[in-house]
Amino acid sequence: MKNVMIIVNYNDYETTIRLIKNIKDYKCIDKIIVVDNHSSDNSLLKLESINIKHLEVLETNENKGYSYALNIGAKRAIDLYKECNLIISNSDIIIDSENDLKDLIDTLSDTRVIVAPNIIEDNSLSRGWRIPTPFDDIKQNIIGYGEKYFNKKLRYDDLYYSKHLTKVDTVSGCFFLIRSKHLEDINFFDENVFLYYEENIFGIKTKRLNKTIVINNDVDVVHDHAKTINKNLKRINKYKILKKSQIYFEKTYNKANIFELLLLRLTAFITKILLYIKYIFD
């Protein structure tokens, strides 16, 4: 089966090029598809100038979000190969060796349809997590408490990852592998979320089809976050996008009732006001 790597780029061609150079000689990758998500800089020109035979650069007509860009790349891969393994990646990923990627590819099967490695982020490990209920998300909205609640209730204990493979509800969207047939079975990534919650969505869809998502605990991949500090106002805008995705997920996939949706909106609104106050006094 062919293996296709799909990389989403947005105004970050230098990091994308670094990843392409990282994996361009990996024989286990048959095709590299970079989807430029309608960058406002000269990313497209820089990426199209790269002379690698098995690299293809696509551009979206507009930036409709991460899921939309992934679907553009995935549908192109399926057009080319009908059925393949899709390696989904942010641009700021570093893979240590081809053997690591081969190990992840070999983990996939007809039932294990999504696999991810341990993601190293800021000297910590990001692995799988449990899909939240409406009340889980309500509690996560409480400022000063939400992160603690997530770590205690939705993250799996470290001992849970003691074996070679560990079954989880879902995995980080920054880097994972998925069977193309399964992606078709779940009707691709949900484009109604611009950013955030796509992991919970494909996780819940996978669970409903009685398929499995696993972490391969023998493989580590680095998610090299940019070290620049976001402005507070930018953080508020990201928070608005996050909560819009949260409401959509809980209403559409968890069938949250009117009371739960009210609490979700109320707790999110209070936290947004506190962020604005922090912005004013910083």
In this structure, are residues 27 and 98 in contact, taking their beta carbons and an 8 Å threshold? Answer: yes
Q: Residue 108 pLDDT > 80, yes or no?
A: yes
Pairing mode, strands 55-59 and 212-223: unpaired
**To 10 degrees, the CA torsion angle through 166, 172, 174, 179?**
60
d(CA 133, CA 222): 29
Q: Residue 228 pLDDT > 50, yes or no?
A: no
Half-sphere exposure of 132 (CA within 13 A, CB side): 27
Classify residue 224 by burial, with Cβ atoms within 10 Å: 0-12, 13-18, 19+.
middle
CA 55: distance to chain centroid?
Answer: 22
d(CA 152, CA 156): 8
Quick one: CA dihedral 246, 251, 256, 262, positive or negative? positive
Which of 60-64, 102-106, 211-215 is predicted least confidently? Answer: 60-64
pTM above 0.85, yes or no: yes
What is the pLDDT, as a whole number, of residue 280? 72
Which residues face 115 on adjacent strands?
177, 214
Residue type present at position 223: H
Q: In whole angstroms, how large is the CA radius of gyration of the chain?
A: 19
Question: Where do the domains of the chain lie?
Answer: 2-131+169-223, 132-156+228-282
DSSP assignment of 46-114, as one string?
A: HHHT---TTEEEEE-SS---HHHHHHHHHHHHHHHHSSEEEEEEETTEE---HHHHHHHHHH--SSEEE
What is the pLDDT, as a whole number, of residue 157? 94
Q: Residue 206 pLDDT > 70, yes or no?
A: yes
What is the pLDDT, as a whole number, of residue 189? 98
The mean pLDDT value for 41-62 works out to 95
CA 174: distance to chain centroid?
Answer: 4
The total of other beta-carbon atoms located within 10 Å of residue 25's CB is: 9
pLDDT band at 230 (very low <50, low <70, confident <90, very high): very low
Mean pLDDT of the chain: 93
Q: What is the phi/psi pair of residue 132, to 5°? A: -75, 150
pLDDT tens-digit series, residues 58-99: 999 999 999 999 999 999 999 999 999 999 999 999 999 999
In this structure, are residues 67 and 173 in contact, taking their beta carbons and an 8 Å threshold? Answer: no
What is the pLDDT, as a whole number, of residue 130? 98
Q: Residue 183 pLDDT > 90, yes or no?
A: yes
Pairing mode, strands 112-121 and 124-126: antiparallel
What is the pLDDT, as a whole number, of residue 231? 42
pLDDT tens-digit series, residues 115-154: 999 999 887 888 999 999 999 999 999 988 999 999 999 9
pLDDT band at 232 (very low <50, low <70, confident <90, very high): very low
Give me the CATH topology for the region 2-131+169-223: Spore Coat Polysaccharide Biosynthesis Protein SpsA; Chain A (3.90.550)
